[in-house]
């Protein structure tokens, strides 16, 4: 499904070209020009994505170089909170009750953290797999 409408415009353009240019060579030249315009639009979208990524990288660099801990330290703080949550969820939570039971001290079940923890960690690490998957399928929107 083409959400941008470019594919449907190209199909419509081909239908019109078939009617306007009955000669196959003229139609082929016109189709080539139409496909060139489509690719130019695709390259423009890729360039827009690159420019947004570069702008965000520049913002990150300016933030990181700020002397205030409240400006430059929020990303590392969130990262360490995620590390602590991962340690708790996947190491301490399963092993502490097991170890205490093995030592003869029963403990109640420890609370679990939300499964959204993976999503947060992936976002912090920059794993944009869903966006890449959408682009691969051709269903990405801006």
User: pTM value?
Assistant: 0.49
Q: What is the mean pLDDT of residues 100-123?
A: 83
Question: Is a pLDDT exceeding 70 seen at residue 29?
Answer: yes
Question: Is a pLDDT exceeding 50 seen at residue 1?
Answer: no
| SS3 state of residue 121 | helix
Q: Which of 32-36, 81-85, 86-90, 110-114 has the lowest mean pLDDT?
A: 32-36
Note whether 82 and 124 are within 8 A (CB). yes
Write out pLDDT tens, residues 41-57.
666 777 778 888 888 88
Structure tokens at 141: 């929107």
Residue with tokens 């639009």: 41
Task: List all residues 6 or more positions away from 31 whose beta carbon is below 8 Å from its beta carbon.
Answer: 14, 17
Whole-number Å distance between alpha carbons of 14 and 30? 9
What is the per-residue DSSP string for 46-82? HHHHHHHHHHHHHHHHHHHT-S-HHHHSHHHHHHHHH
Cα angle 141, 136, 37 (rounded to 5 degrees) comes to 70
Q: What is the mean pLDDT of residues 6-25?
A: 66
């Amino acid at each position: 499904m083409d959400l941008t409408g470019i594919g449907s415009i190209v199909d419509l353009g081909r239908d019109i070209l078939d009617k306007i240019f009955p000669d196959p060579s003229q139609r082929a030249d016109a189709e080539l020009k139409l496909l060139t315009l489509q690719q130019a639009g695709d390259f423009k979208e890729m360039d827009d994505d690159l420019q947004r990524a570069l702008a965000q990288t520049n913002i990150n660099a300016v933030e990181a170089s700020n002397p205030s801990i409240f400006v430059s330290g929020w990303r590392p703080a969130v990262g360490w909170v995620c590390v602590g949550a991962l340690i708790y969820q996947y190491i301490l939570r399963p092993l502490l009750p097991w170890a205490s039971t093995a030592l003869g001290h029963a403990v109640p079940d420890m609370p679990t953290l939300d499964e959204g923890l993976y999503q947060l960690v992936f976002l912090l690490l920059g794993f944009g797999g869903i966006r890449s998957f959408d682009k691969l399928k051709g269903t990405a929107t801006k």
